[in-house]
Structure 1
Amino acid sequence: MRKWLFLIIFLLIVGGILYYISFGSFSEGTRVGSLVKLSRRGYVFKTHEGQLMVGGMSDGTGTFNSTTWDFSVHDSNKQAIEALDLSQRTGQRVSLHYEEKFFQLPWNGDTKYFVVSVELIPLQNYQRPVLPVPAPQTTPADTSKAL
């Protein structure tokens, strides 16, 4: 009887650890950028895989740094998928809130980063700056020729 009790407790502990490693996350954060790619992939377990361009100007040299970040979205997260699709069609920048998993498992997607929510960043109303109208230049009157 003791042997069975020990075996059941051992299996419960191992199962709990495996469950935590499979579904738990050890990090979360936010990344902002422009969506480069969004695709639906998987043979059995479908996930959406995407790339976000998170580049910007460097402080010291003023050069443009272009980096891409790969992420996954569960197929059941319809709100995030619709927001990403809208962002891809309109060119809007997005803020992605994500969770980082312990391991990349085949049924979870291609990356360890899973997007939980998406916030669309409103497009700036880019207008040309209004330049001041130059004052008319006056020319000196020619008084040498009288009427």
Structure 2
Amino acid sequence: MENQSFGVRAKSTAKKVLRVFLITLVVVGIAVFSFYYWGVYDEGVRAGMVLRLSKKGMIFKTYEGQLNLQTFGALRGANPIMESFDFSVEKSNEQVIKDLEEAALTGERVNLHYVKRYATFPWRGDTKYFITKVERLDK
């Protein structure tokens, strides 16, 4: 009878340990996902002209764009070197999307305020850079 009682207690203890382990694993998983999803690695501003803004994707439609950063060579009279900055815009940020579309059509210079996230997710965008504000300079 004591052996059966010991076996029942061992099974009960094993179930409790497994339950605690699984709960801990889920909580740690949620914390890591939250960190990568909402965590901001870098914030800044880039200036240039918007080359394109498009809505892309087969399953998840995301807004992707490209900014032309004109940098000038160290030599006098050198032509500007074309350098680009790829970025994404969250769907919920409708005013930023509208401002970027207008800037792309007019060819005006803009300052783009951005945040860089730790990871990319397919439903959010192709890049880690997300535009949060557009300053139109040539209005």
Mapped partners of 2:76, 2:41: distance in 1: 35
Task: Give SS of 1:108's match.
Answer: coil
**2:137 maps to 1:121:** yes
Structure 1 residues 46-86: Cα deviation after superposition (integer angstroms, max 9, x where no partner): 21111110013223444211101111111111010111111
What is the letter of the counterpart of residue 22 of structure 2?
L
- 2:50 matched residue in structure 1: 35
Matched AA of 1:99: V
Moved segments of 4+, more than 4 Å: none
Q: Which amino acid aligns with 1:58?
A: G
Report what 1:145 is aligned to.
none
The reply on whether 1:70 has 2:86 as its aligned counterpart is yes
Shift of 1:101: 1.6
Residue matched to 2:67 = 52
Structure whose CA Rg is larger? 1
Q: Which amino acid aligns with 2:53?
A: L
Aligned positions of 1:77-116 closer than 5 A: 77-116=93-132
- Counterpart of 1:25? 40
In structure 1, the residue matched to 2:8 is none
Q: Distance in 1 between matches of 2:48 and 2:93?
A: 20
1:141 match: none
TM-score, length basis structure 2: 0.79
Say how many residue pairs are matched. Answer: 123
Higher percent of residues as helix? 2
Distance 2:131 2:31 in 1: 24
